[in-house]
Amino acid sequence: MAAILSSASDPSDLLRISDSNIPYRFDQIFSATGFGAKRLAKNRLKLMKAIDPLIQTFLSDGEKVQFVSWGVEYSFVEQFFMGLWAHLINRRALVFTDRRILMIQINSRRKVLDLKTQLRFQAIDKFATRTFGYFGLVLRNGNKFNITGIPRKDRKYIKDFVTEKLAATRKDAPGLGIENLCPKCGNKVLGFPDRCNQCAQAFKSANKAGWLSLAFPGLGDFYLGHRWLGFTEILGAMFAWGAVAFPFAWTTYSEGGPWIVSAGIASAVFVFVHGTDCWITRRVGFKGIYPEG
């Protein structure tokens, strides 16, 4: 099966394949037509080649992939505190199967990263009021889920697809919201255990990530595997200490100011710079399951 995707150079090669063992409905996945459809199909094929080994592992028996797209999970808090960095950790391949939406963390070059989650159709209540450029869902547990940056041509298709699935699963017991999957075997992971109870893969700890970032901003991000983010934060914190806090505290002290003022400056930097990074890193750590090693 993997060979069929990796050897395909053009999406139209795949449309001719009809084999019930293949878990992809190529006719639906590549159904877009009109201006720009060809380029979109090429990008879609590239993404599918990149995630195919993972998809083959993650799919349940008989589960079929009916559509594949991509976007960026949107969180106001992360956007506010991390700016563009939020985009780097929130890019997702969106795999729509007959049972669920699989979300796979990817980078801008379509490389598969750590986080893998699923949203079952039973967990979705309705579409959120349309906001410009966003694809918003209200979940049955009351949470909201927003994705931005979905290719324009895919938005309507996805909306129709999900609408149909919602109607079909309306009477089922509600699902649990967004569920974390083991990044190695795809098994559903409840809570945040140390390792997978299916394949024994060890997981990283969000609390440890938080403590590391409290010790010095950026360390927790390094631990979670977000190296560029960690590097930037280390530089930022070094600047806050070296160019702002320390000179200011030293000047105050050497001019005979009360020591409490210098201590206050140092405490403020610790609370605002270290404290904020601790809080946001821990939050990012709880976004899903990060594999150890």
Please give the size of the binding site for Zn ion, defined by CB under 5 A.
8
Per DSSP, 290 falls in state: P
Stretch that binds Zn ion, among 80-88, 115-123, 126-134, 196-204 (CB under 5 A): 196-204
**Minimum separation from the CB atom of position 197 to Zn ion (A):** 8
Of 104, 96, 41, nearest to 64 by C-alpha is 96
Site for Zn ion in 150-189 (CB under 5 A): 182, 184-185, 187
Of 50, 182, 68, 39, nearest to 108 by C-alpha is 50
Pairing type for strands 144-148 and 65-74 reads antiparallel
**Minimum separation from the CB atom of position 130 to Zn ion (A):** 37
Burial classification of residue 5, based on how many CB atoms lie within 10 Å of its CB (0-12 exposed, 13-18 middle, 19 or more buried) = buried
**196 sits near Zn ion (criterion: CB under 5 A):** yes
**Minimum separation from the CB atom of position 19 to Zn ion (A):** 29
**Minimum separation from the CB atom of position 57 to Zn ion (A):** 10
Site for Zn ion in 229-268 (CB under 5 A): none
On the CB side of 55, CA atoms within 13 Å amount to 28
Stretch that binds Zn ion, among 35-43, 45-53, 190-198, 282-290 (CB under 5 A): 190-198
Q: Rank residues 34 and 293 by Cβ distance to Zn ion and give the closer one.
A: 293
Q: Rank residues 79 and 201 by Cβ distance to Zn ion and give the closer one.
A: 201
**Minimum separation from the CB atom of position 116 to Zn ion (A):** 10
**CA dist 26 to 16, 41, 65, 109, Å?**
9, 11, 9, 23
Q: Rank residues 187 and 232 by Cβ distance to Zn ion and give the closer one.
A: 187
**Minimum separation from the CB atom of position 195 to Zn ion (A):** 8
Report the residue from 107, 131, 198, 267 that binds Zn ion according to the rule CB under 5 A.
Answer: 198
Sequence-distant (≥ 6) Cβ neighbours of residue 241 within 8 angstroms: 269
Q: Rank residues 79 and 187 by Cβ distance to Zn ion and give the closer one.
A: 187
The CA angle 80-84-90, to the nearest 5 degrees, is 90
Pair 166, 126: CB distance under 8 Å? yes
Q: Rank residues 36 and 193 by Cβ distance to Zn ion and give the closer one.
A: 193
Q: Rank residues 199 and 261 by Cβ distance to Zn ion and give the closer one.
A: 199
Integer Cα distance of 68 and 75 in angstroms: 22
**199 sits near Zn ion (criterion: CB under 5 A):** yes
Q: Give the number of other Cβ atoms within 10 Å of residue 18's Cβ.
A: 8
Binding site for Zn ion (CB under 5 A): 182, 184-185, 187, 196, 198-199, 201
